[in-house]
A and B are shown apart, each in its own frame.
Chain A
């Protein structure tokens, strides 16, 4: 069993944006895609997804529309807005900077002297 990691605060939004950027998705689909792209390494409480989706929609980063799912059920689909795409790009950039910095910091060894 893979060791599951707790989500850092603030990272859920980023994951959702990323998941949705790959193509319009309904809520459950977003969940599955996050599990898929993270290799099931990230565990989120499923219900927490929805407040985050609403928040992002409220911020104008996502827009939603009722449509029909792959198995012919009614479902609400989310897709990125232009602002969402822009935000995703910024977030990825800053996350990468942070990750690189963290990796550097954590990878440091005591200097021999």
Chain B
């Protein structure tokens, strides 16, 4: 035993010496034998030959010798690898195509799977995230515009008392402040929250502490917790920041905690309509309101999160919370119901379907890649028929051939897998740059271990499957036949031909389906871009201003806006400047009823409209076409006037001329009557893809909002424009930050970012799919032609023209492609309904688009088969016949 181990060890440490020794020893044997034979009278040249014959197959015995020394698998792996690399180097075209095919298939899958893992699968980074639910209220009266609403503070106060299934609850209010005392004045997004929030989420501060319930009372909420980003940005990551005093809109507050850098909070409208959490929340502050004194009617202004007790069901919790709500509903005479939904599901609801569809596309691509590889391997296997026959005649065992074929596939798969993972890493990074902020949890997407394992598993499985082709081929190989038949003349068997045709049909079908989906998405994207937005986005800069309520009374706000508008409009380079309470494409908000003056009855039955408060010249500045009448003028200050959108005018006044007529809007105190002075075009509000809502424009001085968006048209380049605007603002108020500086073009861009990404990915996958399918067709035809060189030569010798040969080859190879295209088209029709919700302005069965895509894929395949066919036709008949 010891001797064995020693021997093995010796082999390991001196493998090279063993090889040399063995070669020398056998060489000496032959030499000695030759010498003996010569001495016995055999001629020298004959003796050499005879000695070798007597010795037998030296390579075989060397192999046996290695085996006898044990540890043969090390050598075997080495020699197999060396063999694989040598044979791959000999066919670089095949190797490149195979590796790239693997890489593309695996890369695409890894990117998509990483995204799905990060966005949909991985639990939220809170403690017990599955027990955290959002609370919303369903109000049937508003059901047709909002599936549910944020909650009322008073209702929350009651729920807190009665919900026994709830472990804890947190109420949230959105706020924004001008932060002072930390460098340049800046606008920070903030959330007011009850003290349960952080304990509920299980979030520990990286510095300091979170706020307590004794700080969550009116007047005592002068403490804040800040984000890691703000801490680094404005406090230079100073660990002494705890206890530091800063101002929020002139109120002195103390910093008591810094959130960890990996803290995430839902963004945008992920919690639901009318509660637009900003993208980056920098400040959390105790809510500091006495909820028990709040009005129980209306005021659906708060977000709410609840953590259920372990084992408690959300339906039970909703039932408990609905009890007090029913009483409030009776008082207010309007129905209300609590809606609980798991936080993660709620956050990712909008993207779930697009992401799964994307995974479908990626898997289809991988399938195409695998089929393509199978085809490639089969063609290669058939081409090496003769090589294998020779090698097995020379003594290679069948198992060795299997092993090498497997090693070749696995090597290709692994190289492809590594390359694909690299592609995926780049893809994930690219994705996080391209993707819109509306894609939730994108910053949590990373190339994770499970994903890498997934990629590796897929690549090796695909590799093993693909190597089945050559193995299958070898099992049937009979060296005798292969050698005597001579490969150029032997043609494919019928079964082989059928399998390969089926593979071609399969991959052209899959790529057709993929291309059809991508085509429909591309057409949708083009239609979305061509939508009449209702405004002109060119050369319009916007920024927000928020006047701190402490320093600015209603009167001073009015003065400020009037003055700033005047100054901006007289600044050289600015064509027109105005302001609005809400920019287009920022969602429906400030919705209320609207009706014609003099109408009576229940106001709640009247149509709903969005209300916007704007400055004079707003329509000119943002480029909303005036249909009739005029916009507001400074001289309208003392009058009660309004401008309607076309749809609003149509809805209220039908075909009458609305100019000069009166409308009423539902003011809480008393219905106010306004005179219509103009009608303007409809403007897209919640997105380019949804219908423009009814819109009522009122002059800003009626409300004098503290926070407004300014709209500035026609200043040279953007950077310069921002500097100009900033300097004009600071002449009025040095302390006032301008924020959310964007051009209208950027706003439009953000609105289509999600669709653009989806279209881009789909088009990329489909393009890759069609390319792979074409490579498959190309490979099959090239191979088929090379095996039929002889036959083609005979045909041409018998008088077939080059054109006829081309037509024959193309026709035969297009057969399976056309079958595949028809099947793929059928697939596209069947799968259309899954895609329907993702389309805009085009049906899932649009005949024009589907026909165009089919024609495109068909001509690509035609090209892929024409090329080798033409080469076949250039064969000289005499050469072809001689070529044996």
Contact = CB atoms under 8 A, between A and B. Distances in A.
A73 B3 CA distance: 29
Given A46-B55, A47-B58, A47-B60, A54 B65 contact: yes
Contacts of B69: 54, 58
Of the four ranges (under 10, 10 to 19, 20 to 34, 35 or more), the interface on chain B belongs to: 20 to 34
A54 B68 contact: yes
Contacts of A24: none
Interface in B35-92: 54-58, 60-61, 64-65, 67-70
Interface in A1-59: 26-28, 31, 45-48, 50-52, 54-55, 57-59
- Give 6 nearest A-B pairs by CB, closest first: A60-B3, A51-B64, A47-B61, A47-B56, A55-B68, A54-B68
Contact of A50 (B8, B26, B31, B33): B26
B276 to A, nearest CB: 77
B56 A48 contact: yes
Consensus secondary structure, chain B interface: helix
A24 B65 CA distance: 20
B355 to A, nearest CB: 59
Contacts of B29: 27-28, 31, 46, 50
A86 interface: no
Interface string B1-36: 011100110000000000001101110110111000
B65 A50 contact: yes
A87 interface: no
Given A55-B68, A58-B70, A76 B56 contact: no
Interface of A: 26-28, 31, 45-48, 50-52, 54-55, 57-60, 66, 73-76, 81, 83
Nearest to A61: B3
Given A27-B29, A28-B28, A76-B21, A47 B55 contact: yes
A50 B31 CA distance: 15
Nearest to B57: A47
A58 to B, nearest CB: 5
A46 to B, nearest CB: 5
B55 A57 contact: no
Contact of B61 (A50, A66, A76): A50
Contacts of B65: 50-51, 54
Contacts of A66: 21
Given A58-B7, A73-B28, 11 more contacts: A27-B29, A46-B55, A47-B60, A48-B61, A48-B64, A50-B25, A52-B68, A55-B68, A60-B4, A81-B3, A83-B3
Contact of A51 (B8, B32, B33, B68): B68
Nearest to B59: A47
Given A52-B68, A57-B7, A47 B28 contact: no
Interface of B: 2-4, 7-8, 21-22, 24-26, 28-29, 31-33, 54-58, 60-61, 64-65, 67-70
B56 A74 contact: no
A51 B67 contact: yes
Contacts, number: 74
Contacts of A47: 26, 55-58, 60-61
19 contacts: A27-B26, A28-B32, A45-B55, A46-B29, A47-B26, A47-B55, A47-B57, A47-B60, A48-B56, A50-B65, A51-B64, A51-B67, A54-B65, A58-B3, A58-B7, A59-B3, A59-B4, A60-B3, A75-B28
Contacts of B4: 58-60
Contacts of B25: 26-27, 50, 75-76
A73 B33 CA distance: 14
Nearest to B29: A28
Contacts of B60: 47
B67 A45 contact: no
Contacts of A60: 2-4, 7
Contacts of B61: 47-48, 50-51
Contacts of A46: 29, 33, 54-56
A76 B60 CA distance: 21
Contacts of A59: 3-4
A74 B28 contact: yes
A57 B3 CA distance: 9
A69 B28 CA distance: 11
Contacts of B68: 51-52, 54-55, 58
B157 to A, nearest CB: 86
Contacts of B55: 45-47
A66 B25 CA distance: 10
B65 to A, nearest CB: 5
A75 B30 CA distance: 12
Contacts of A50: 22, 25-26, 29, 61, 64-65
Nearest to A76: B25
The residue in A26, A54, A83 that gathers the most chain B C-beta atoms within 10 A of its C-beta is A54
**A28, A31, A60 pick with most chain B CB within 10 angstroms:** A28
Contacts of A31: 29
A81 B7 CA distance: 14
Contacts of A55: 68
Contact of B56 (A45, A57, A58, A73): A45
Contacts of B7: 57-58, 60
B5 to A, nearest CB: 10
Nearest to B25: A76
A27 B31 CA distance: 12
A59 B69 CA distance: 9
Nearest to B56: A47
A54 B58 CA distance: 15
A45 B56 CA distance: 6
B873 to A, nearest CB: 52
A73 to B, nearest CB: 7
A5 to B, nearest CB: 17
A50 B24 CA distance: 12
A47 B27 CA distance: 11
B19 to A, nearest CB: 12
B48 to A, nearest CB: 14
Q: Which of B4, B22, B55 has the most CB of A within 10 A?
A: B55
A52 B56 CA distance: 14
A62 to B, nearest CB: 10
Contacts of B26: 27, 47, 50
